[in-house]
Amino acid sequence: MEGKERGYKFVEDRELRWKYIDREGRVKVPITDGQLAFEVWNYLRNVVIKKPSWLPAFRYVECFEPNPVFQVYPGPPDPWISISPDAINRMTKYFEFSWLKIPIRICGNIWDSQEP
């Protein structure tokens, strides 16, 4: 793998494997809805910094649709995110800035079973 040759470190169990390829030949990356919610919260935080005028438009977003490459499972954000459980709980439910409180909902097909 080219990344390893350049000295990057990878967590082996997070690399893509053949079992994540569906019948049509598309890769399906397993991810939890909590991790996606955390990523949405982080994106909105960056919007505040870079384009704050965009933020009010997010009040009208019904839910955030994950990219089809993801196979979404219920669960918390990834364990290596070093934030208190209470903060993660708030972050994965809503984003607050000034007078805005934007709900964070992940839509789409969330599998009932845990990650394979």
- Residue-wise pLDDT tens digits, 12-56: 555 545 555 566 656 678 889 999 999 999 999 999 999 989 988
What pLDDT, on the 0 to 100 scale, is given for residue 43?
A: 92
pTM over 0.95: no
Handedness of CA 109, 87, 60, 46 (dihedral sign): negative
What pLDDT, on the 0 to 100 scale, is given for residue 18?
A: 53
What pLDDT, on the 0 to 100 scale, is given for residue 79?
A: 82
d(CA 44, CA 100): 12
Tokens of 107: 């839509």
- Residue-wise pLDDT tens digits, 56-113: 898 888 899 998 888 888 988 888 877 787 888 788 788 888 888 888 989 876 776 5
d(CA 16, CA 71): 12
Q: How many CB atoms lie within 10 A of CB 60?
A: 7
Tokens of 111: 């599998």
